Amino acid sequence: MNLTLEQIQDFKGKYPKQIWSLFFSEMWERFCFYGMRGMLVFFMISQLKFDDEQANLQYGATQAFVYAFTFVGGLFADKILGFRKSLFWGGLLMIVGSLILATNPHDYFFLGISFTVVGTGFFKPNISTMVGKLYKSGDSRTDAGFSLFYAGINLGALLGGYLCIAIGKGEMLSGLIPEHKRWNVAFGLAAIVMVISLVNFIFTQRQLGPIGLQPQRLNADGTFSALAKWNEYSVYILSLIFVPLIMIMVSVPQYTDYFMWTVGPLTLIYLFYEMTKVTSSERNKLWAALVFIIFSIVFWGIYEQSGGSLSIFAANNLNKDLLGLDPNGVNNSGGAFFIIFLAPIVGLLWIWLSKRKLEPNTLIKFGLGFIFLGLGYYVLFATKFFATLQGITSLNIFTIALLVITFGELCLSPIGLSIMTKLSTEKLQGMMMGMWFLASAYGQYVAGQIGAGMAKVKTGANNYDALITYTDGYKQLGLYALIAGVVLILISPLVKKLMQEVR
C-alpha cells in the first residue's frame, strides 16, 4: 500500500506509527556513533600512544568535523539525493568506517574515523528532518514526537557508550575475546549495529510514502522530471574525495581552528544567498531559525563541559556516595539515562498542556532550557559546600546538577530539531537541519576553549584549590546561561514576529 502524505500526517493518537522506524534506525546509528566516540580518546592514549593533550585535541577535531559535515549532508539531501538516499549513503559510509576500524584500528585509525565523519554528516541531519515531515505544519504533537525520537537517540548513546569501551578495555566478555582482538570486536560491534540500523530502515521505509524521496527537476513547461543520474553519482564520488581530506585536517589540530573560522562564515553567506530566493515571509522565518541556531551555540558551549572539564572534575573531586557508582561513569551516561525516562514524559506533558491551551511556545521552551542549564551549573557550584579539605565532594549533589541540566537539554535540543523543520522552507529543510548541528560543532569548540581555560588556571594547584577553581568556573557559566535566557526572553517579541504563525 502506498501511503500519501495526507494519510501519514492525519494520524490518530499521540505519535505517527512511522516514528518508530526512525526511532530505531537513529537509536542504532547513535549506538555506533557514541560507541566509537567513547573509545576515541582512550584508544589513542592506550593503543596509539598519543599524549593526553594530543588525544584530546584530536578528539575535539573529529567532533568539530562530524557536526560540521551535517551541513554538507543536509545540503546535498535537499538538492540531489533526498533524505532517504542520503541516510542510506551515510549509513553505508559509517559501516565502512567501522569495518576499517574493526579490521585494523591501529594502522587505519584516521581513515576509519574519516569515513564515519562523512557518513554521519549524511545520516544524522536527514533522519531528523524526516521526523518533522510526519507532521502537518501547526500540529501541536510535533514537539512530543521529537522528544520521543530524542529518547531513542539517548538509548543508543547509552548502550553504545557503555558497551563498546567496556569490550575494548576487556571489562566485558574478556573470557570470550582474546586480548589482542578486543578493540577489533569493539569497533566491529559498532559496524554490526549500523547494519541493523540500515536493515531496519530498508524494511520500514515503505511506510514513509513520499517522504524523503529524491527531489525532482522543474521543467520549463511546469512538469517535473527525475534528476539525471550523474548528479547522484557525483555526490557519492565527491563525498569519497572528502575522506582523505578530512584525514589530513583531523591529523593537524591547528587546521581545525582554520576550518572552524572559515566554515561558519561560508555557510552563513550561502544561507544569505538562499534567502534572496525566497518570499519575504519565508525569509523572516529563516532569520528566526538563525536566532535559535546562534543561541544553541551558547547552550552547547556550556553544556558540553561534560566531555571536558567535568570529566576531570569527576575523576579528581567526586566521591562515590551514589550507590558506589563510578563518578566518571555517572558523568558520561547519567544525562542519557535521565533523558530516556524523562523525554517521553516531557513530550506527553507538552501534549497535555497543549490540549489545555497552556503549552509554552518554542521561545519560552528555549528560555527554560537556558534557565535549567544555568540552575544546573549553580548546583555544580554548590558542590563546593560539601567538599572535604582534600577537595572531594558529593556525587549525589553532582547527579542532581546533571538532572537539572538534562531538563534544560529537553527544553532545547529536541525542540530545536522540531523548530528547524517548522521554520525552514520546503527546499532548505536538510540544510537548515545541518546548520542546527553545525552550531553544535561550534558549541563543542567553545566548550573545549572554556575547559582549557579552566584547566590552565588550576595548573599546579592542590586538589582543594582545583575544586574551588572549577566550581567558581561553573558559577560563572551558570550566570552566562541565565543571562542568555533573559536575553532570549527580552528579544522574544521580535523573534515571535519573524516566526509569524509558527509556535
CB of 322 to ligand GLN, least distance (A): 23
CB of 440 to ligand GLN, least distance (A): 3
CB of 355 to ligand GLN, least distance (A): 28
Q: Which of 141, 204, 152, 150 is nearest to 13 (CA)?
A: 141
Binding of ligand GLN by 413 (CB under 6 A): yes
- Spatial contact of 424 and 432, defined as CB atoms under 8 Å apart: yes
Binding of ligand GLN by 149 (CB under 6 A): no
Binding of ligand GLN by 331 (CB under 6 A): no
Q: Which of 437, 405, 392 is nearest to 334 (CA)?
A: 405
Which x/- pattern over 19-38 shows residues binding ligand GLN (rule: CB under 6 A)? -----------x--------
CB of 437 to ligand GLN, least distance (A): 6
Q: Which position has the grid cell 546538577? A: 401
CB of 284 to ligand GLN, least distance (A): 25
Q: Which three cell numbers stand for residue 299?
A: 547552550
> Which are the contacts of 292, defined by CB distance < 8 A and separation ≥ 6?
362, 366, 416, 419, 420, 423, 436
Which residue's CB is nearer to ligand GLN, number 247 or number 297? Answer: 297
Phi, psi (degrees; rounded to nearest 5) at 21: -65, -45
Which residue's CB is nearer to ligand GLN, number 209 or number 369? Answer: 369
- Spatial contact of 443 and 297, defined as CB atoms under 8 Å apart: yes
Which residue's CB is nearer to ligand GLN, number 394 or number 440? Answer: 440
Instruction: Give me the helices (H) in 391-462, please.
Output: 395-423, 429-458
Phi, psi (degrees; rounded to nearest 5) at 245: -60, -45
Residues 284-313 that bind ligand GLN (CB under 6 A): 300
Residues 174-203 that bind ligand GLN (CB under 6 A): none
Which residue's CB is nearer to ligand GLN, number 317 or number 332? Answer: 332
Total residues contacting ligand GLN by CB under 6 A comes to: 6
Residues 337-356 that bind ligand GLN (CB under 6 A): none
Instruction: Give me the helices (H) in 17-107, please.
Output: 19-46, 52-76, 82-103
Of 23, 146, 201, 437, which lies in the binding site for ligand GLN, with binding defined by CB under 6 A?
437
Three-state DSSP class for residue 111: helix
Which residue's CB is nearer to ligand GLN, number 30 or number 422? Answer: 30
Which residue's CB is nearer to ligand GLN, number 284 or number 424? Answer: 424
CA atoms within 13 A on the CB side of 330: 23
CB of 454 to ligand GLN, least distance (A): 21
Cα angle value 153/294/55 (rounded, 5°): 60
- Spatial contact of 402 and 334, defined as CB atoms under 8 Å apart: yes
Query: Which residue's C-beta sits nearest to ligand GLN?
Result: 440
Which residue's CB is nearer to ligand GLN, number 131 or number 330? Answer: 131
**Separation of alpha carbons 50 and 181, rounded Å:** 20
Which residue's CB is nearer to ligand GLN, number 393 or number 440? Answer: 440
DSSP element (H, E) containing 226: strand 224-226
SS3 string, 130-145, reads HHHHCCCCCCCCHHHH
Binding of ligand GLN by 153 (CB under 6 A): yes
CB of 445 to ligand GLN, least distance (A): 12
Which residue's CB is nearer to ligand GLN, number 263 or number 397? Answer: 263
Residues that bind ligand GLN in the complex, under the rule CB under 6 A: 30, 153, 300, 413, 437, 440
